Amino acid sequence: MATILNIETSTKNCSVSIAKDGVQLCLVEENEESFAHGEKLNQFIEWCLDGAEIKLKDLDAICVSKGPGSYTGLRIGVSSAKGFAYGLDLPLLAINSLQILAESQINQGYDLIIPMIDARRMEVYTAQYDNFGKQLTDTEAKVIDETSFEELQGKKIVFVGDGAEKCEETLRHLDATFIQIFPSAKYMCQLAEDKFNQNLVEDVAYFEPYYLKDFVAGKKKSE
């Protein structure tokens, strides 16, 4: 039984929700190509607190999406979450970004839920979940080609996430639905409540985002 601030910044969607006992009270989010999370996140948190009609002192925990996803987005979201957790002396909770996507499709009658977060070109961050949101395979960075997931032919599958649409043509051999959405803090509410009730907390001092891959900065083009 808790009031939890949820922060999701693993993609270009900057998303904040507040939930009480697993029920969403308010959601503020926006996605845009500029990845302006650093400019908007604190403002979104203020708006969400106002919308939920609560104060920071009313919070029982902070929950953040830990990755995988955008290096910059994760760094901003985790830094903010750690700051609030430390400053307010609250427990810090963390959820895999792919699990947040999978949560959007649970109990919909699929054999498998396969979230996909866009990496680069035909690469995605992905894992497999069952219809109830239980993770079945390890999180991985996977290059998608015509042979990907061929062992799953015959199963009813949903691919969900901002990496799903680009894979649709390549994976047309499967009985699959493709849903192009972003991870959102609205799907974190019950997951965060469950972690709080199980006391699955992170060490605020040492917690780091789950980048999965090392960050590689692009070279500046010659003028």
For the cut 60, the answer to whether the pLDDT of residue 222 exceeds it is no
pLDDT value for 73: 93
For CATH 3.30.420.40, the residue range(s) in the chain are 3-97+184-197, 105-179
CATH 3.30.420.40 correct for 105-179: yes
For the cut 90, the answer to whether the pLDDT of residue 127 exceeds it is yes
CA 21 to chain centre: 20
Among 3.30.420.40, 3.40.50.880, 3.40.50.300, 3.30.110.60, name the CATH number for the domain at 3-97+184-197: 3.30.420.40
Residue whose entry in the numeric block shows the structure tokens 């900065």: 217
Per-residue pLDDT band for 223 (boundaries 50, 70, 90) equals: very low
The pTM assigned to this predicted structure is: 0.93
